Structure 1
Amino acid sequence: MRIAHCSDVHITENYFSLPLHRLGWRRWVALAELTVGGRARRYAQAPRTLAAIATEAQARQVDHFILSGDLTAYALEGEFLGARRALGTLADDPRRCTVIPGNHDVFTPGSHRTGRFARHFGHLLESDLPEYRREGAFPFVRLVGTEAAVVGLLSARVPHAPGLSYGVIGPAQLEGLAALVKDARLAGRAVLVTVHHAPLNPKGRPDRWHHGLRDADALLRLLPGPRYAVLHGHIHHRYHHPATAERPHVFGAGSSTEAGNEGYWLIDVAGGQITGGQQYTPVL
C-alpha cells in the first residue's frame, strides 16, 4: 500500500489586480513577503505543479493522497478555487483524498469565520468513526483498505498578527486521538496522523516558539513506534525522521510546489507498519 503526501502548495492570486480594501491589513503586510521576499515569483507555477503531482500520484496507483495544509497564499477565495481545480477529480472523493487546513488557509478572521476552507474542502473531512470528533470535524479518521488509517488533526489557528504562525492541537483533540488509537477497528492498521505544524524540525528538535507546534510532545507520546507516522508541512524542508520505540515516523513534506524544491512523498505501508518512503520530483 502506498500513500502520497504533499504540502504547502500556496496557490497565489494576482494581488495587484485586486482592490486593496478587499485584502485587509493583514494581507497588506503580507505584500512585502510576496514582492520583496519573492514568494509570488516562487509560486507562480504552483497550480501547474500541484496538478502534475496529483496526476502522477494517480498514475502510480496510490491508495490515498494527503495534502497537509497551506493550499493558499493568504486564504483568498480565488486561491481556494485554484487549489480545487488543480487537484481535479482526485479531491472529489474522501476515500481517495485527505486535505486539512494550514495557517495560511485561516490567515484572516474573515476567512475563518466564513468557513472558506470548508466550502471547498469540507467534504474531505468526513470521518469513518465520527464518535471521536472533539473540535468540529477533528479528529477525523479514514479507513484506507485493510492496512491503514488516516487521521486528520487541526493545528492551524487565526494568527494574532502576521509573523506569529505557531500551531496548537489542543487537549480536546488530543483526548479524541488517544481514544481513537485504542479502537479495535484500528488494530493491525498503520496509522498516519496528518497535522499542519511540525512536531520536529529537520534536525529532530522542536521548531521555533513563534512557528512551531506547541503541543508536539503530547502528540508524539500518543503514537509510539513504526505502526504510526505524523505527516506535516509548514516547514519548507522535506525530511523523514524514522520511528523509534518512543515516537512515530515523522514525514515533513516541505513545500511541494516551490520553484526549485518541488516534490512529494510516497510512503509505504505493509503488514500494518510504515516501512519507509521515497521522495519524488514531479515531471513538469
Structure 2
Amino acid sequence: MRFLHCSDVHITEDYFALPLRKLGWRRWVALVELTAGGRAKAYRNAQHTLSAIARDAQTHGVDHFILSGDLTAYALEGEFRAARAALGPLASSPARCTVIPGNHDVFTPGSHASGRFAQHFGGLLESDLPEHRREGAFPFVRLVGEGAAVVGLCSARSLPSPGLSYGTIGPAQLEGLAALVADPRLDGRAILVVVHHAPRTFADHADGWHHGLRDADALLKLLPGPRFAVLHGHIHQRYHHPATADRPHLFGAGSSTQAGKEGYWLIEVEGGVVVGGTKHAPGSVAGAT
C-alpha cells in the first residue's frame, strides 16, 4: 500500500488587497513575516503546487492522501476555500484523504472559535471507529484496505501570542489513541498517526519549548516499532527517522509548496508494517529514500 504525505502548504491570500480592519492585530504582526521574511513570495504558487501534488496521488497509484496541517497562511476564509479547491475531488473523499489542522489554521481566536477549518474540511474528520473520539473529532481513524489505518490527532491550539507556535495533543486524545492501538480491529494493520507538530527535529532532538510538541514523549511511547509511523509537519524540513524497537518511524514532510523546496513523501506499507518512504517533487516519478 502507498500513502502520499505532504504538509505546510500555506495557501496565501493577497493581504495587501484586504482592509486592515478585516485582518486583525495578529495578522498585522504577521505582515512582517510575509514581507521582510519573504513568506508571501515563497508561497506565491502554493495553490498551483498543491494541485500538482494532488494529481500526483493518482499518477503514483496512492491508496490514501495525507496533509498534516497548515493549509493556510493565517486562517483566512479565502485561503481555506483555495486549499479545498486545490485538492479537488480528494477533499470530498474521507476514504481517500486525511487532512488535519496546523497552528496556522487556528491562527486567530476567531478562526478557532468559528471552526473555520471544520467548515471546509469537516467531512474529512469522519471516523471509522468513532467510539474512540475524546476531543471533538479527535482522534479519528480511517481504515485503509486490509493492511493499514490512518489516525488523525489535533495538536494545534489557539495561543495567546503570534510568537508562540507550540502544540499539545493532550491527555484525552492520547488516551483515545491508546484505546485505538489496543483495539483488536486494528490488529495486523500498520498505523500511521498524523499530527501537525514535530515529535523530534531533523537532528532527532526535542523541538524548542515555544515551537515544539509538548507531549511528544507520551505520544512516541504509545507507538513502538515499525508497525507505527508518525507523520508531521510544522518544521519546514523533509526527513525520515526510521523506527526502532521502542519508537515509530518519523516522517517530516517539510513545507511541500515552498518555492525551491517543493516535495512530499510516498510511504510504503507491506504486511502490516511501514517499510520506508521516498521523497518526490511535484510531477516527478523518481524518488530518493
Query: TM-score, normalization: structure 2?
Result: 0.98
Counterpart-to-counterpart distance in 2, 1:104 and 1:123: 20
What secondary structure does 2:65 align onto?
A: strand
Aligned to 2:287: none
Give 1:40 shift: 0.1
Find the aligned partners of 1:257 and 1:229 in 2 and give their Cα distance: 23
What does residue 179 of structure 1 align with? 179
Q: Matched residues in 2 for 1:26 and 1:227: separation?
A: 41
Alignment deviations for residues 216-238 of structure 1 (CA, whole Å, 9 cap, x no partner): 00000000000000000000000
**2:60 maps to 1:91:** no
In 1, Cα distance between the equivalents of 2:148 and 2:45? Answer: 33
Q: Which runs of 4+ in 1 moved over 6 A?
A: none
Which residue does 1:113 correspond to in 2? 113
Q: How do 1:1-284 residues align onto structure 2 when only pairs under 5 Å count?
A: 1-283=1-283
For residues 4 and 247 of structure 1, the distance between their equivalents in structure 2, rounded to whole angstroms, comes to: 22
Give, in whole Å, the separation in 2 of the partners of 1:163 and 1:277. 33
Percent identity of paired positions between Structure 1 and Structure 2 = 75
Quick one: which amino acid aligns to residue 56 of structure 1? D
Gaps of 5+ in 1: none
CA distance in 2, matches of 1:71, 1:158: 16
Q: What are the superposed Cα offsets for residues 63-93 of structure 1, whole Å, 9 maximum, x if unpaired?
A: 0000000000000000000000000011110
User: Could you tell me how far apart the structure 2 residues matched to 1:126 and 1:58 are?
Assistant: 22
- Look up the equivalent residue of 1:15 and give its one-letter code: Y
Deviation at 1:163, TM superposition (A): 1.3
| 1:98-121 C-alpha deviation (Å, 9 max, x unpaired) | 000000000000001111000000
Aligned partner of residue 201 in structure 1, secondary structure: coil
- Cα distance, 1:283 vs structure 2: 2.8
* SS of corresponding position for 1:276: strand
RMSD: 0.7
The 3-state SS of whatever aligns with 2:118 is helix
* Rounded Cα–Cα distance in structure 1 between residues aligned with 2:171 and 2:56: 37
Q: Which amino acid aligns with 2:47?
A: P
Corresponding residue SS for 2:24: helix
Matches of 1:229 and 1:175, distance apart in 2: 18
Post-superposition Cα deviations, 1:224-282, rounded to whole Å, max 9, x if no partner, equal 00000000000000000000001000000000000000000000000000000000001
Measure the CA separation in 2 of the matches of 1:158 and 1:45. Answer: 27
CA distance in 1, matches of 2:52, 2:243: 30
Q: Which amino acid aligns with 1:141?
A: V
1:234 & 1:199 partners in 2: Cα distance?
10
**Following the alignment from structure 2 to structure 1, what is the Cα–Cα distance between the partners of residues 129 and 56?**
30
Residue type at the aligned position of 2:245: A
In structure 1, distance between residues paired with 2:49 and 2:66: 15
Letter in 1 for 2:169: I
Amino acid of the residue matched to residue 70 of structure 2?
Answer: D
In structure 2, the residue corresponding to 1:181 is in which secondary structure?
helix
2:93 maps to a residue whose letter is: D
Aligned length: 284
Unpaired segments ≥5 residues, structure 2 = 285-289
TM-score (norm 1): 0.99
Amino acid at match of 2:173: Q
Residue type of the partner of 1:184? Answer: P
